[in-house]
Structure 1
Amino acid sequence: MKVLVTGATGLVGRRVVSRLREAGFDIRIASRQPQRLAGADDAVALPSADAPPEAFLALMRDVTHVVHCAALNNDRGAGSADFRTVNATLTGRLAQAAATRADGRFIYLSSIRAVVGAGFSGTIDEATPPAPQCAYGRSKREGEIAMLEAFATAGRDGATALRLPPVYGEGMKGNLRGLMRFAATGLPLPTAALTAVRSLVSHDAVAGAVTHLLTRPAPPRPTYVLGDASPVAMSEIITAFRRGYGRPARLLPMPAWPLRMLATLAGRQAAWQALMATQVCDSSLLASEGWEREADTLGRLEELARQGSGPSHP
């Protein structure tokens, strides 16, 4: 069986390709940056969102399954139209072609931002009502809807969206990379500003979920929420990174109110709310279906810092 993987040069896409090859799948790689695919077997350019239908149908030649990792992420500073074009319209076009030509599954890597904003505090599971709060989150939710509608119109099942919390691994970007860079400085941090608890997910666990869903006989559900086995506190994340760097934690027992006041005076109330938000992803549904969750989140973060993979990458 052949699997079309889009976004195969990204953090998760690279790991998905590796795991699927280990599982014995043939791979076709499609990327919006084909120049980075020189020398790869069966590698093609990913059509733009406004390409003719034939371009998308051509991608599906001999393909059984599609894993759609390509996305415009929320660390790029893009506008609403760009997010919608890449994350929603392109997803819908791919899903339409897959529902027509590929007889297997379509796995779309979505985000918890499709259902909650950065300031939400609480538990997120498959029953959480979608209420995206940013252009990125809205575009990911629209991509989920476009995918499911394409398969429903074709009278097909087998399409699913994996809603991911922040993903860590070699070459990670975004807020986790920023925390890793700050941990490398050794500067002291106030404990009161790091009490929030967050779910994270390793890129290995995401790749494992994709492989599991492509090999499991039963069809997937429309959505799954992913996350490591246990959420971790922000203070624990910083401490794990600093252990990896061989540094002391340097967390100061300082109250939160001075920082909250500074954030208010600077007009950064939303950023403060996001910093203090606790977001726990309940990934028990997919785990109950046989997916193995990462159980040692802090150990994996410590190892990333030990290897120096975060701060050394541009």
Structure 2
Amino acid sequence: MKVLVTGATGFIGRQVVRQLREAGVELRLASRHPEKLGPGSETVPMPGFDAPPAAFLALTRDVTDVVHCAGLNNDQGNASEADFLAANAELSARLAQASAEQASGRFIHLSSIRAVIGARVNATIDEDTIPDPQCAYGRSKREAETRVRDAYALHGRSDAAALRLPPVYGPGMKGNLATLMRLADTALPLPTGALTGNRSLLSLSSAAGAVWHLLSHSEPLRPIYDASDMAPVSVAAIVGAFRRGFGRPARLVAVPAGPMRAAAVLLGKRMFWDSMTATQICDPSLLASEGWLPETGTLERLAETARLGNAQSPALR
């Protein structure tokens, strides 16, 4: 087995590389910043979405499997719909076309629950949920799923799968979870006790473990898998876990939701408020039924993430 990992210097890509190295897998690592990868594996620059077909054929030549982590994340606030479609859908399609033609093994495409639901929607989702993406990022990830599947179907193959991820936490995370962790690092009371909406999260190590499971398990691939930690947790519990990790007292004040929502609207943070109060549960039963073990200690792992961030980034204080 020789696996191509794209986006190998990214938040999840780095952990995937670590997991595969521990499993003794031969690797080819692709990144827009290959100089950051260091020694130990074959490294190559990641082609852009508009590179010629020959660049993608060269990238996938002599590998058996592909793990596609590269793309444009939804923390890029100034990205346009066209930017997301190019970096996510078009790049994924071009890579899948080359992989389906000459890589004999599996293609694991890291996707997102945003391909299915918006950040402000209350829902429980699984692999059969009808997709209804509601942002440019989500639409681009859904389009990428479709185009990867179509590229493999064109070659009569069914060994490509989309792995949909909820928010992933761990050292170096970004997005709303990183914002909540920064907010938690204060001795002042926080009016977060009213944030009782439950959210599915996924630990960084479990995300990489899910990738290795899909590459190595013997059962035929399904088109879509959802991954998450075993149990959802409330936003208030997330903040509380971060505070424990920082060594802060809990001090979470249960301010009524109405005044907090009004304050968020006045501050121009209504979308953030709505996303923090929505209940979004991701059902990992399919992956678990095939032998993957989801994380069971979410709050403990969140506290550990804060402790590591505290030690590595004193500026947070």
TM-score, normalised with respect to structure 2: 0.95
Q: C-alpha distance in 1, partners of 2:266/2:21?
A: 53
**Secondary structure in 2 matching 1:59:** helix
Q: C-alpha distance in 2, partners of 1:271/1:305?
A: 21
Matched with 1:306 is 307
Q: C-alpha distance in 1, partners of 2:195/2:155?
A: 48
AA aligned to 1:232 is V
Tell me: CA distance 1:178–1:263, structure 2 relative to 1, closer, same or farther (3 Å): closer
Q: Which segments of 5 or more consecutive residues in structure 1 lack a partner in the other structure?
A: none
Do the aligned partners of 1:244 and 1:306 also contact (CA within 8 Å) in 2? yes
After TM superposition, the structure 1 = structure 2 runs for residues 71-150 of structure 1, keeping only pairs within 5 Å, are 71-77=71-77, 78-150=79-151
**Secondary structure in 1 matching 2:185:** helix
Deviation above 4 Å: which 4+ runs of structure 1?
265-268, 309-314
Matched with 1:200 is 201
Q: C-alpha distance in 2, partners of 1:306/1:163?
A: 28
Matched with 2:13 is 13
Matched with 1:272 is 273
Matched with 1:255 is 256
Cα offset for 1:311? 5.2
Q: Does 1:49 align with 2:49?
A: yes
Matched with 2:24 is 24
Cα offset for 1:244? 1.0
CA-based RMSD of the aligned residues comes to 1.6
Q: Does 1:235 align with 2:236?
A: yes
The share of aligned pairs that are identical, in percent, is: 60
Number of matched pairs = 314
Matched with 2:223 is 222
Cα offset for 1:34? 2.3
Tell me: CA distance 1:312–1:220, structure 2 relative to 1, closer, same or farther (3 Å): farther
* Greater Cα offset, 158-167 or 27-36: 27-36
Q: Any idea what the Cα deviations from partners look like across 1:115-156, whole Å, max 9, x if unmatched?
A: 000111020111111010000000100110110000000101
Q: C-alpha distance in 2, partners of 1:115/1:312?
A: 37
TM-score, normalised with respect to structure 1: 0.96
Q: C-alpha distance in 2, partners of 1:186/1:86?
A: 41
AA aligned to 2:282 is C
Do the aligned partners of 1:69 and 1:109 also contact (CA within 8 Å) in 2? yes
Q: C-alpha distance in 1, partners of 2:189/2:17?
A: 40
Cα offset for 1:50? 0.9
* Greater Cα offset, 229-238 or 251-260: 251-260
AA aligned to 1:43 is T
Cα offset for 1:226? 0.7
Do the aligned partners of 1:244 and 1:304 also contact (CA within 8 Å) in 2? yes
Do the aligned partners of 1:198 and 1:232 also contact (CA within 8 Å) in 2? yes
